[in-house]
Structure 1
Amino acid sequence: MTYRDDTGSDESISGVFEFADGVSATISLSQAAGVPYDHLEITGDRGRIRSDWMSGQIDIESSGAHEFRLPTVEFVRSDPLQPMYDAELAEFAAAVRLGRPPSVDGHDAIRTLRVLDALRASAERGAPVEVDDAVHSTTGRGVENELARIRIQLTYPANRIQEPVLYELARRFHLKFNVRRADIDAGIGWVQLMLEGERSEIEAAIEWVEAQGIRADPVEGDVVSG
């Protein structure tokens, strides 16, 4: 770890993470590079992937995937900032609308800070430091796998009315569901369901439904969890 001469704040840091399953990772952060860059690179025993979010370029090479046996370059977007913000805002809005926790919340930020604190402590001591067990625990969030029951209304556009959505829900997700009400009117169909199961499974099911172009709205006054 190095520090800025003018402010005394962190300037550069590098660290090695060793996990219980034998996986290791190296992280390097610096404000002294001279040029702006932001990338993530993951290297394994069968290949590597490198993502540069400013340019949207992804470099892939893998002996485990035939299509990437030779070095491959792909571009996933042209705007480096707007798609990221759009995704964050859409996720936050969905969490508020569906009454569920967001995918990334304050507990994730706390775990990140604990990792950074461990990096600083290791640099100051000149020796490895064990990260607090809470970093590896999800008990702080406490809602990922609790059982829940929620009543939602699915609203189908005209071009989706004939789709076997309920069949796919039963096939794809470990949930119990009961049809409470349903109707088709003027080319628009809707059905009210009571979904029961792990909260994370319910959230995944709702996300899948919305990805099919079907609107999912909670029905107020009929949600129980515990």
Structure 2
Amino acid sequence: MPNQSNNIADLRREYIQGGLRRKDLPENPLTLFELWLKQACEAKLPDPTAMCVATVDERGRPSQRIVLLKHYDDQGFVFYTNLGSRKAQQIAQNNQVSLLFPWHAFDRQVIVSGQAERLSSLEVLKYFHSRPKDSQIAAWVSQQSSRISARGVLESKFIELKQKFLQGEVPLPSFWGGFRISIDEIEFWQGGVNRLHDRFVYQRTENHWNIDRLAP
């Protein structure tokens, strides 16, 4: 097998997009998050709302996957999923979760740490019926994270259910829901020249946010 380790060791670039200074930080971290997300959307970056969700299983082994952010506010960051999925099962055992937004084109990362809680049935129902109908049907098709013999199994089931729900409304599956991740801590990372990156972490207290600069 070819060894590419020598080649990839030399891959690097300078981060020259600009710095991040303490005087520029708002009191509420969501103000800065909203600005960065808006800039990512306006620049038409691929999947600007994509975030990596990290969980751990009962043995402490981590798992990561990309999902799409669907809502955020002072209460936290929201995503939806099959409740039988690996991530949902791990959250049920340990609700400590980390999120990562990687906006490479701007040399930026945002890391959120907090606790996951299930969304209410009303919140889930409202979002589910806002989705395209094919996406609603797809939620019924897949028992997420389960083993299947072939892709054809999914495709056949999708065609079957599309015919079944052709005229009527697609009901909300009992196994489909969502989570809100609280914002206990949120870090903003801005790449810097000579690897002197700017990192600031907000930590929630009872009445306000503490802000600290971290060494790169």
- TM band (smaller chain): under 0.3
TM-score by length of 2: 0.22
Greater C-alpha radius of gyration: 1
TM-score by length of 1: 0.21
